[in-house]
């Protein structure tokens, strides 16, 4: 019984993690979603918090090897979203 609950718990966390990744991809490509010009590095703070949460989730439901693969995948998503912002009108590209 306990194993079944752990599996459901891990599946639920995996679904939330995938939803976070999809949210990152969607929000990073929205042209109107940019912090105001006079904000104090608000975009950097939002990036840090978002990717920190996305990096934290796999710790709870993946094995050590799969965590490393997930982190590598997350790095590719981060770089890919920044590169794709180059093609979106109203967004700035910066790495």
What's residue 3's pLDDT? 64
What's residue 24's pLDDT? 87
What's residue 33's pLDDT? 64
What's residue 43's pLDDT? 74
Give the global pTM.
0.76
Q: Which residues contact 70 (CB under 8 A, 6 or more apart)?
A: 58, 62
At 31, is the secondary structure helix, strand, or coil?
coil
User: Would you say 85 and 95 are in contact if contact means Cβ atoms under 8 Å apart?
Assistant: no
Residues of the chain with pLDDT under 70: 1-6, 33-36, 94-95
């Amino acid at each position: 019984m306990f194993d079944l609950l752990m599996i459901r718990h891990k599946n639920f966390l995996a679904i939330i993690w995938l939803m976070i990744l999809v949210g990152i991809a969607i929000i990073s490509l929205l042209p109107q979603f940019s912090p105001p010009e006079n904000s104090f590095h608000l975009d950097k703070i939002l990036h840090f918090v978002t990717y920190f949460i996305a990096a934290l989730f796999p710790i709870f439901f993946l094995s050590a090897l799969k965590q490393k693969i997930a982190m590598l995948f997350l790095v590719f998503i981060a770089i890919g979203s920044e590169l794709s912002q180059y093609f979106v009108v109203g967004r700035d590209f910066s790495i």
